[in-house]
């Protein structure tokens, strides 16, 4: 069928990239590296093109999305691009009133807290996000053999923004709903799983080579609660894209006690923050899955020699996985104040130190 063959043909140029090979546990010439939030405020060229355009408006402009996504690839020579968008874009696309306040994060005008509120969370259709299809298409054509990673927010992390109405430290309202109204909660995260699946499928159909599910804040849950209240919805997302055969990455912060379950939910690659060394993460995740991580982003503010020592420690810990199955990344995102040159040097160092 032509519509199905087209995205896979688009992706084929990246098939043998170090990044995709590592995700599949195949031998690699060097450990691939990319950075979460590599596009964005650490780069002066980003500030320049974003001038006068709000964050969420910038996500609706395919040419701008293409330029911002390519900026860190050009500058740092990373092994993969991550699509420039945001986890709240699909929510906005189905009519949720959300904006991203600079220095704050996503803010929801009318939080979702009751059964009636759930009606506002309808499935996402490809026609809701034509600009995503267009931007991914432009990027895949331009990137050639460099893979493009698509992404979405996981049900728990999206629920946290929707229920709290914005960013929160303790996620108290979210947890109160989860513990106090389990049936309402189950329907909420199920609806979010459907929206997230829709958003990932649009990106996959348009040609991305891998997808990452960001459950950034799920580390605030105990394993039993994760298993009972969150895992079914996240598993539903992974299951919905399993048929494409592309690597599925699952990431969260502070998830040391959840790593095994996050793998079980259906990930091929498990993202690890800096709190758990990769050899221990490999034990927790079990065989057959690749790992992504896990340099403490704060290390980038230390002198180059320290960055290199710490990066070497990450590579060494990853050797527990064997000769492949490791994607080098930070344990969380690039921060706005980071020196872009330090990031470029780190990419070159990882490539050199891991060359086989």
The residues assigned a catalytic role are 37, 41, 50, 86, 161
* Site for ligand CP3 contains 87 (CB under 6 A): yes
* Site for ligand CP3 contains 106 (CB under 6 A): yes
* Apex 150 CA angle, 290 and 2, nearest 5: 110
Q: Is the peptide bond before 294 cis (omega within 30 degrees of 0)?
A: yes
Q: Which residue has the tokens 């331009």?
A: 142
* Apex 20 CA angle, 18 and 75, nearest 5: 55
The smaller minimum CB distance to ligand CP3, of residues 50 and 345, is found at 50
* Site for ligand CP3 contains 86 (CB under 6 A): yes
Per CB under 6 A, which region of 97-105, 168-176, 199-207, 281-289 contacts ligand CP3?
97-105
Residues touching ligand CP3, count (CB under 6 A): 22
Per CB under 6 A, which region of 16-24, 83-91, 119-127, 302-310 contacts ligand CP3?
83-91
Give the residue, chosen from 19, 84, 185, 238, that forms a contact with ligand CP3 under the rule CB under 6 A: 84
Give the residue, chosen from 214, 244, 274, 328, that forms a contact with ligand CP3 under the rule CB under 6 A: 214
Binding mask 52-71 for ligand CP3 (x = CB under 6 A): ---x----------------
The smaller minimum CB distance to ligand CP3, of residues 100 and 178, is found at 100
Contact 81/148 with Cβ under 8 angstroms? yes
Contact 237/157 with Cβ under 8 angstroms? no
Binding residues for substrate: 37-41, 86, 161, 216, 332
The size of the chain, in residues, is: 356
The gap from C-alpha 218 to its chain's centroid, in whole angstroms, comes to 14
* Site for ligand CP3 contains 156 (CB under 6 A): no
Give start and end residues of each alpha helix (H) in the chain: 2-11, 18-23, 44-50, 55-58, 62-76, 89-93, 115-118, 130-143, 155-164, 172-180, 182-206, 223-229, 231-241, 259-264, 278-285, 304-318, 340-353
User: Which residues sit at the interface with ligand CP3, rule CB under 6 A?
Assistant: 36-41, 50, 55, 82, 84-87, 100, 102-103, 105-106, 151, 214, 216, 333
């Amino acid at each position: 069928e032509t519509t199905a063959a087209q995205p896979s043909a688009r992706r084929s140029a990246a098939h043998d990239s170090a990044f995709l090979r590592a995700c599949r546990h195949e031998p690699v010439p060097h450990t691939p590296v990319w950075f979460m939030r590599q596009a964005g405020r650490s780069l002066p060229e980003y500030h320049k093109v974003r001038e006068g355009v709000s964050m969420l408006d910038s996500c609706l402009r395919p040419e701008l999305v293409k330029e911002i996504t390519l900026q860190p690839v050009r500058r740092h020579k990373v092994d993969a691009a991550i699509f420039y968008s945001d986890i709240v874009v699909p929510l906005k696309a189905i009519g949720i009133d959300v904006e991203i306040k600079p220095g704050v994060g996503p803010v929801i005008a009318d939080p979702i807290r009751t059964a009636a509120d759930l009606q506002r969370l309808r499935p996402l259709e490809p026609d809701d996000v034509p600009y995503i299809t267009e931007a991914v298409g432009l990027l895949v054509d331009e990137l050639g053999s460099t893979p493009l990673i698509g992404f979405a927010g996981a049900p728990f992390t999206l629920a946290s923004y929707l229920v709290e109405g914005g960013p929160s430290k303790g996620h108290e309202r979210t947890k109160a709903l989860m513990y106090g109204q389990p049936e309402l909660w189950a329907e909420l995260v199920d609806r979010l799983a459907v929206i997230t699946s829709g958003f990932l499928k649009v990106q996959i159909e348009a040609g991305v080579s891998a997808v990452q599910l960001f459950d950034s804040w799920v580390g605030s849950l105990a394993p039993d609660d994760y298993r009972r209240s969150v895992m079914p919805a996240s598993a539903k997302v992974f299951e919905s894209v399993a048929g494409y055969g592309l690597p599925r990455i699952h990431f969260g912060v502070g998830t040391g006690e959840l790593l095994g379950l996050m793998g079980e939910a259906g990930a091929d690659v498990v993202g690890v923050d800096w709190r758990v060394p990769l050899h221990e993460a490999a034990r927790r995740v079990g065989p057959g899955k690749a790992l992504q991580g896990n340099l403490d982003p704060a290390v980038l503010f230390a002198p180059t020699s320290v960055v290199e020592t710490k990066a070497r420690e990450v590579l060494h810990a990853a050797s527990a996985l064997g000769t492949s199955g490791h994607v080098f990344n930070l344990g969380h995102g690039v921060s706005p104040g980071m020196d872009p040159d330090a990031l470029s040097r780190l990419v070159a160092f990882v490539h050199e130190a891991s060359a086989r």
